[in-house]
Structure 1
């Protein structure tokens, strides 16, 4: 079991907070060792020889393992703890090493009149994370092999997501097409067609900092 950070954009943080997202997919690349023995060239394409789960994991070395604890990094800003403490609906965390400093989260907060400078998710300190994900399963697969059920677990319930402008190109009730649209919106217009190998990570979300008693239980 290892503690690791993981980045999510605002809409994905929202779906986790709402309990609609229990999977995420991250692009991975094969290790250089054993490539020659793992693939065989047949007319027009390379064919993968061994599809066993153990062999695929060995070759691609997913970034996370079952039992890992992931602390979510998201867009935010740092301010003093009194700035928004009486504001309705504003979620903030206090720095345990400096109880004058607080973190306020961009998702669900209107920054337009604050004048505060938004900090990218990559700069979020560990103490400020409000979401901990417990990894329950990791599978290696091609991106386009995602099932309709798994697409829904990615937060792409097409009926709900369309109202959130997450999948404007999806047909109602088609969660896989919604995920297709979402993947391209995050990774680029041809990202889906590239059909990369991905780590499909199933997790259980805890709405608490990774160092809190709730996340250690």
Structure 2
């Protein structure tokens, strides 16, 4: 079993905490432009060079549903590359924006003569945790947050998720299954599993880009949070994505001394 980090926005961490989010989708890197492409005479459209994920083979699936006479799966996938988030049974620890107790110090200079700085994290030490200076998070922020320009001043500083150490992680996910698909192919059920927020009063889903708007469809709601995180227009590009389904589990390092 391998344990890897994965970054989440604050809103998605809230969805994980609430138990609403059990899936995540991440853009899958594609083939170079000069790669060969795959097509089939039975297909309605060809697959362009950048449309095929690296290491994947795709072919037409001629298995049909006996009732609807529709193909059960248009494409079948065989992945020759490892999913960067792991395989079923592997674990992920959630990296989120957090607050650490410590101070900034100078750490040499760059080749152009500019000062470099390093944050000294004290929250990772039990002696400081016992004094009440452990890690804090968006749902329990410290009363005073120092500016990152407060050189040498000890206190709580806001730290980006990218730099969260595993000692600060509080959510751990065990991968149940993973697959690849086009972003726009997400189902309504999977959009709900992505953690979109339901307005109980109106029984409609949140528009993450407009506080005065709601959607009947969870998929439409997911589109707004996807673009909020990944940028405007990224939904229409309809990239291939890794889809990871998970369940929360215990800290794999809790018994380590």
TM-score of the two chains, using structure 1 as the length reference? 0.75
Distance 1:99 1:39, change over 3 A: farther
Number of residues of Structure 1 aligned to a counterpart in Structure 2: 192
Contact kept, 8 Å, 2:99 with 2:141, in 1: the verdict is no
Matching of residues 76-95 of structure 1 within 5 Å: 76-79=98-101, 95=124
Separation of aligned partners in 2, 1:173 and 1:212: 42
The residue that corresponds to 2:176 in the other structure is 136
CA distance in 2, matches of 1:209, 1:162: 35
1:1-217 counterparts in 2 under 5 A?
1-30=1-30, 35-36=35-36, 39-40=38-39, 45-46=46-47, 49-50=58-59, 51-53=75-77, 55=78, 57-58=79-80, 61-63=82-84, 64-79=86-101, 95=124, 97-101=125-129, 102-105=134-137, 107-110=138-141, 113-115=144-146, 116-159=156-199, 166=208, 168=210, 171-206=214-249, 208-212=250-254
CA gap 1:30/1:16 in 2 versus in 1, 3 angstroms: same
Give the secondary structure class of the aligned counterpart of 1:46. Answer: coil
Give distance in 2, aligned partners of 1:22 and 1:9. Answer: 15
Contact 1:166 1:182 in 2 (8 A): yes
The structure that is helix-richer by fraction is 1
Structure (1 or 2) with the larger CA radius of gyration: 2
5+ long unaligned stretches in structure 1: 81-93
TM-score (normalizing by structure 2)? 0.65
For the aligned residues, what is the CA RMSD? Answer: 3.1
Counterpart CA distance in 1 for 2:206 and 2:128 is 35
3-state DSSP class of the match of 2:220?
helix
